[in-house]
């Protein structure tokens, strides 16, 4: 199925995590999975996640956001995408404090500038049934799961957590680039232990305030940046007392600052970048003015 025509979009990225934003708040029907896959396959609109803004369902929020992966499946939260829509909405309304609703709940956003956008990602969930897992584990700081030979596993004893999406984090003691995550990722994502599939991260703690990670994203594959993975890794490392309560998580696309605040909420701060805007189905996107980023008019074109 082809992508729907005459629907405006903005193409952005958060640390290289490719984001397409579509605004349906003033009209336009919801997109289906086949249309989403077609949009992801088009060169101008290739994305890791698509953020579809729909009319608010809760008073005091800007929009209800449906988040799609490249395979047409839905994601409950996307930290990098939320920073992107936060910037666009700030430019549209002039307000720096915003609230968006997703399947993961309401996510407050504070915008300073394009280099510093903070998203309150909510509270992490560590219970095995909340992640969810198909088997009971009393301590989710390290569960029984390994990749490789029994007597010499390549990866083992990961932490698991839900930060809007389920995540599994494998701890390693050498650079994360040395692991073939492109091979291991799909196997772990679809492991029967994870009934809703899972995002897979390899993490190396390099100091009390720094972690390096690479992530295989559920429904999208290898990614240059995953905001929820950075949050999941940071709070898991904090639970294991490996790092302080504020840490820089270094992803292939760049760093994010993650703080696990005293109210149990995770605060993620990082940048967003505008690439271009255009109309779905057209081959030549319109370049966006970098000095005047904006949210394009809502809905379908007349």
Catalytic residue numbers read: 78, 226
Query: What are the CA-CA distances from residue 6 to residues 9, 171, 185, 297, 298 (Å)?
Result: 10, 46, 36, 12, 11
d(CA 212, CA 206): 7
d(CA 229, CA 208): 18
* Residue 198: closest CA among 76, 106, 102, 107: 76
Tell me whether residue 252 is exposed, middle or buried, using C-beta atoms within 10 angstroms of its C-beta: 0 to 12, 13 to 18, 19 or more. Answer: middle
Query: What are the CA-CA distances from residue 174 to residues 63, 107, 153, 203, 208 (Å)?
Result: 42, 34, 15, 9, 16
The DSSP bridge pattern shows strands 210-217 and 199-207 to be: antiparallel
d(CA 280, CA 297): 14
Chain mean position to CA 139: 25
- Secondary structure class of 265 (helix, strand, coil): coil
Residue 161: beta bridge partners?
167
């Amino acid at each position: 199925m082809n992508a729907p025509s005459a629907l405006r979009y903005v193409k952005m990225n958060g640390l290289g995590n490719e984001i397409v934003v579509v605004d349906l708040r003033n009209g336009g029907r919801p997109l289906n999975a086949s249309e989403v896959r077609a949009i992801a396959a088009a060169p101008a609109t290739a994305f890791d996640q698509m953020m579809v803004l729909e009319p608010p369902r809760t008073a005091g929020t800007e929009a209800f956001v449906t988040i799609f992966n490249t395979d047409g499946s839905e994601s409950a939260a996307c930290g990098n995408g939320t920073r992107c829509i936060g910037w666009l909405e700030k430019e549209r309304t002039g307000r720096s404090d915003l609230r968006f609703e997703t399947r993961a709940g309401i996510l407050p956003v504070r915008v300073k500038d394009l280099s510093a956008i903070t998203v309150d990602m909510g509270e992490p969930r560590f219970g095995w049934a909340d992640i969810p897992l198909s088997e009971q584990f009393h301590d989710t700081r390290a569960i029984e799961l390994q990749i490789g030979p029994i007597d010499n596993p390549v990866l083992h004893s990961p932490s698991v957590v839900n930060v809007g999406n389920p995540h599994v984090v494998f701890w390693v003691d050498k650079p994360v680039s040395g692991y073939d995550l492109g091979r291991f990722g799909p196997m772990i994502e679809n492991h029967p232990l994870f009934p809703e599939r899972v995002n897979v991260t390899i993490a190396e703690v390099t100091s009390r305030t720094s972690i390096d990670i690479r992530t295989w994203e559920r429904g999208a594959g290898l990614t240059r940046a995953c905001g929820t993975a950075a949050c999941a890794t940071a709070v898991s490392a904090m639970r294991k007392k490996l790092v302080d309560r504020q840490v820089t998580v270094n992803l292939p696309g760049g760093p994010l600052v993650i703080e696990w605040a005293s109210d149990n909420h995770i605060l993620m701060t990082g940048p967003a970048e505008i690439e271009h805007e255009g109309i779905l189905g057209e081959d030549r996107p319109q370049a966006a003015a970098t000095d005047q980023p904006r949210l394009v008019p809502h809905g379908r074109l007349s």
